[in-house]
Each structure stands twice: as structure tokens, then as C-alpha cells.
Amino acid sequence: MTKTPVDLSGTAPTTGFKGPQLTGQRRGRLRVNRTAVLAAAVVILFAVSVLLGSYTVTIPDFFKILIGHLTGGEKIPGASFIVMENKLPRAVIGTMIGVAFGLAGALFQTMLRNPLASPDVIGISYGASAAAVTAIVIFGASGAAVSGAALAGALGVAALIYAISSGAMGGTGRGDAAGNRLILAGVGIAAALHAVVSFLMTRADIRTAADALVWLNGSLNSASWDRAGVLALALTVLIPAVAAIAGPLRILELGPDAAAGLGVRVGATRLALVIIAVSLAAVATAAAGPVSFVAFLAGPIARRLTGKASLPASALVGALIVLAADYLAANLAPLLLGGTVLPVGVITGALGAPFLLWLLVTANRKEA
């Protein structure tokens, strides 16, 4: 039986063709608007963190304090110290580490096409933790020395994981197998480093162990302008690097073979992505400790809000998570726990664990 050919020259098909174009444009504007909403939410939550809480400051007083601090003018007794030495640097560092963790997690998850590939899961945060606890317990380090040890530990563990996954120790290093090896190697190394941390904690005295435990949970209690300055300098270098690598990353999402066919140097691009992502996670961990699950949560939440993998949205979601968790830990938790101030990592960990279970359940449903 002969089928009647479809006429593609009429007006109806033309109208149907324009419809999806307009729909795509509307979807693009919607994604932009949602990213803008996330940015506005970060600004609002930043203001809430500085102005409200256990000590409230009015907006006119805040600007008076800020101008007085910058110009050396009149200060408001008590309020100037609380805002400029506690609340403001705490909010600034919280925003920056949220951006750094959010970008680090999104880079790993997009590159490896696996929602479980974040610095928390693949061992980088444990590298920082093991090095920092070693510095605290064995060498009695504190302050900048602990941050430096954490940075060195994260970079060293990342180099080891990448060497194993890239085939430098006998593998082929090609295709998705390298990505799977990176995750598996990271999980194994994380388990070993977790045992090292546990052993060191058992050998430490009570006060040293308490200091190490606060750092291990991730905390903004020691936020200062010195740390904020170092972190800001690092992000000034790393964020433009993320913007430069974003194009090849989008092509790499198609798969290593397709990306190689389109002219992307897969090995070099992956190495650059790993260096940038590890550096972001390392400087954030050095500034505030391993704030758990921020890097893991930011990417998937941003994807659900914007409809696609988005590095800017992931950075903003990371900042929102840290700011919201720190506000809960510093202001609401003491009301419920008789004055106990929780480290910010306790709140993010409590949020991240059920999200991980939910992600695994939904992934199993899709596969079924």
C-alpha cells in the first residue's frame, strides 16, 4: 500500500517549526531568570546573616559601621567590633567557600558524568582532614599552619588519585573507565585516610581532640579578614580558570570519544579540570575545614532548578547552602540545644545524608 507523502511546504508545518524555537527561547530566559533569582537569594541571605541573628544591626547602623571602618571614622561601641570582626568576615568567607565547593563539585560531576563524584566522596576532603589533624595532634599546629597542611594534603591526595585513575600505575586511562577508576580509587583512599584520622584522634589529649573535631566538622567560628583575603585571592585566579575551561567541559559531556572527534584534547582537558576542581576544594577546606556535602549537593540541586548542568547556578547554590546552614548553626541551634553553637558542617551533613539516599533511590527507579 502506497503512503501519501507529507507536504512540508504548507503553513502548518512552518508554524509548528517556529513554536519549538520560541519555546527554547522562553526556556533560556527562564534559566537565566532562575539563576538571577539564586543570585538575589544569596544577597538576601548574606544580609540576613550580617544584620540578624543573636545580635541584630539596623541597615543605617551597618553602613555607618562600614564607612567608619573604611575611613577610620566614628565607631559604635560593641556593634562595630561584632559586625566587622565576627559577622561580616564570617558571611564573606561562608559565601566564598560555598562558591568554591559548589564549583568544585559541579566540575567533577560534569566531567565524570556521575552525581556521586564530589570532593567529599572521592577522598580529597579526607586528604585535607588527615593532613590537618596530623598537624594539630602531632606537631601542635594552629591557625595558618593547619590551613597550609590541609591544602597540601588535599593536593597530594588528588595527585595520587589522578595518577591511579589515569593509568600512570598500569591502567589504560582511556574513556569512562578512567573516570570510574578515579571514583573507586578516591573511595578506597578516603577509607584509609579516615582510619588514619580516627587513630590520631585516639592518641590525642582531650583538648587537642576537641580542637581537631571542630575543624573536622567544618566551622566558620575562626573566620577572619586574613583568611578572607587569602581565599579571595585564590578565587580571583581560579574562577577565571573555570570560565576558560567551561567550553571544553561542555564538549566533554558528550563523552571522551565524541569530544576527541570534535578536537578536544581529552587527557589535557581532564587534567586541567582536576587541577582546577581540586584547587577550589582545597582552598575552601583550608579556610573553614571540610564542610561536608556542599560540593555534593550544589550541582544536583542547581540542575533541578535550572534544568541543566550550570556552573554559575552550582556556585550560587553552594553559597546558599553554607550561608543558610551557618545561620541555623549559629543562631537557631543554640535556642533548641540550650546555647550550644554547632559547626556549620554538622548542619550540612544532616542535610546531605538524606539527599544522598534520595538520589540513590531516584536513580534506581530510573534504571528500573
- In tens, the pLDDT along 35-89 reads 999 999 999 999 999 999 888 999 999 999 999 988 888 888 889 999 999 999 9
Residue 276 has pLDDT above 90, yes or no: yes
Determine the distance from the C-alpha atom of residue 268 to the mean position of all C-alpha atoms in its chain, rounded to a whole number: 23
d(CA 225, CA 207) in angstroms, rounded, equals: 26
Q: For residue range 307-323, list pLDDT tens digits in order.
A: 888 999 999 999 999 99
Residue 330 has pLDDT above 50, yes or no: yes
- pLDDT-above-70 percentage for the chain: 86
The pLDDT of 227-246, averaged and rounded, is 94
Where does residue 301 fall: left (phi above 0), alpha (psi -120 to 50 degrees), or beta otherwise? alpha
d(CA 241, CA 69) in angstroms, rounded, equals: 33
Grid cell listed for 136: 594539630
CA nearest neighbour of 351 among 311, 304, 301: 301
Q: Do the Cβ atoms of 296 and 186 come closer than 8 Å?
A: no
d(CA 74, CA 65) in angstroms, rounded, equals: 8
Which of 29-38, 72-81, 147-156, 229-238 has the largest mean confidence?
229-238
Q: What is the number of residues in the chain?
A: 368
Q: Do the Cβ atoms of 218 and 352 come closer than 8 Å?
A: no
Task: Give me the amino acid identity at 51.
Answer: L
Helix locations, 8-75, DSSP H: 11-51, 59-71
Q: What pTM was computed for the model?
A: 0.86
- pLDDT-above-90 percentage for the chain: 40
Q: Looking up cell 559548589, which residue turns up?
A: 102
213-216 contact pairs (CB < 8 A, 24+): 214/289, 214/343, 215/132, 215/133, 215/136, 215/146, 215/289, 216/129, 216/132, 216/133, 216/289, 216/290, 216/345
Determine the distance from the C-alpha atom of residue 311 to the mean position of all C-alpha atoms in its chain, rounded to a whole number: 11
d(CA 227, CA 181) in angstroms, rounded, equals: 35
Q: Do the Cβ atoms of 246 and 311 come closer than 8 Å?
A: yes
What's the confidence (pLDDT) of residue 347?
A: 92
d(CA 148, CA 142) in angstroms, rounded, equals: 10
Q: Do the Cβ atoms of 105 and 314 come closer than 8 Å?
A: yes
Residue 19 has pLDDT above 50, yes or no: no
